[in-house]
Amino acid sequence: AQEGAPADVEDPMLSCGGAKPVKTTLSKEKSRALQKMKDNMIKTEPELPVDQFDKNMFTEKTEEEKSRIAEAIRASVMFQNITDEQREMIYGFMEPISVKEGSWVIKQGTVGDRFYIVDNGKFEVRIVPDGEEDDGSGGNVVHIYEGSHEKHAHPSFGELALMYSAPRAASIIAKTDGSLWALHRYAFRQVLAQQSSRQELLATLKKIDMLKNLKSEVLDQLAAVMEEVTFGRGESITEQGSPGDAMYVIQKGSCEYLVRVEGRSHNEALKSGSFFGEEVLGKATKYTATVVALQTTSCFRLNRHTLNQISGEKRVSG
């Protein structure tokens, strides 16, 4: 169940593993039983200052546990482009949680601050439809997450809580006893802060006119997930007049920036920290300049789809 978006079982962010979606209705008896089970709801811990995470939440994991966590986060955009050091920190910050049958892990409508991985056990995704009141059951079952060591199945939910506070789109209730891994938003941010090049990238994003007014947590996530790409000497990165959907920030190396207008040309050298192509993230669909690598050059790339997905906007205006 992801925050800030419709809870739809066909959404790949929701259905990243586990059993096929099931739909069912509850008897009044089971509804009353589930109402009583709310007493077992996992309590939300108060948010801690970032500097308390090292001593309070970092725990060593076995190689087998690391393997299961790695398998669960591999496909998530949130964990792309992280270093080996950052990955080890994420392993350490994953908090083990034992859950009893009937426990409420998250409740629809409450604000979330954790991302969860199902290590083992079955968990129901329940949604109260718009305009209806919860009868104590958490709503209709729309999906079941099943974690299993034997099946190498470790679905996850609550990913967007790593970015910002937003109401949960569904309730998650333990169908069996089980165990979860939980990662707190502040711990995740501390992990991201360890990579200096990403911090330099963040500083650059704050200078770009069409991005600088985005919320700080959105800029943090953009800096975290931008893809790193490398171009050889003489390779064209963008071509004036050609369609495109990505902008670039030079991490290492240099490029030539060339614009031709009415038979006249203008060129300049770009170096580390320079950016180009941002026009295609806005209303433009074609690049306004040709950029060629003058040497082997590494860039951070941000495409329109990723920007829209993280910012929640249809299109950034510019």
Please tell me the CATH code under which domain 28-191 is placed: 2.60.120.10
Check residue 24 and give its pLDDT: 35
CATH fold for domain 195-311 = Jelly Rolls (2.60.120)
pLDDT per residue as tens digits for the range 202-261: 999 999 998 988 988 888 888 878 888 999 999 999 999 999 999 999 999 999 999 999
Residue 43 carries which side chain, given as an amino acid letter? K
Check residue 5 and give its pLDDT: 32
Check residue 163 and give its pLDDT: 79
- The DSSP secondary structure of 94-129, one letter per residue, reads PEEEEE-TT-EEE-TTSBP-EEEEEEEEEEEEEEPP
Check residue 195 and give its pLDDT: 66
For the chain, residues with pLDDT lower than 50 are 1-28, 30-55, 314-318
Check residue 56 and give its pLDDT: 58
Check residue 316 and give its pLDDT: 45
Residue reference for tokens 């690049």: 287
Q: Is the dihedral of CA 195, 196, 201, 205 positive or negative?
A: positive
Same fold, 28-191 and 195-311: yes
Alpha-carbon distance of 242 to 253, in angstroms, equals 23
> In 3D, which of 209, 174, 180 has the Cα closest to residue 72?
180
Delimit the domains of the chain by residue range: 28-191, 195-311
Check residue 157 and give its pLDDT: 93
Considering the entire predicted model, what is its pTM? Answer: 0.52
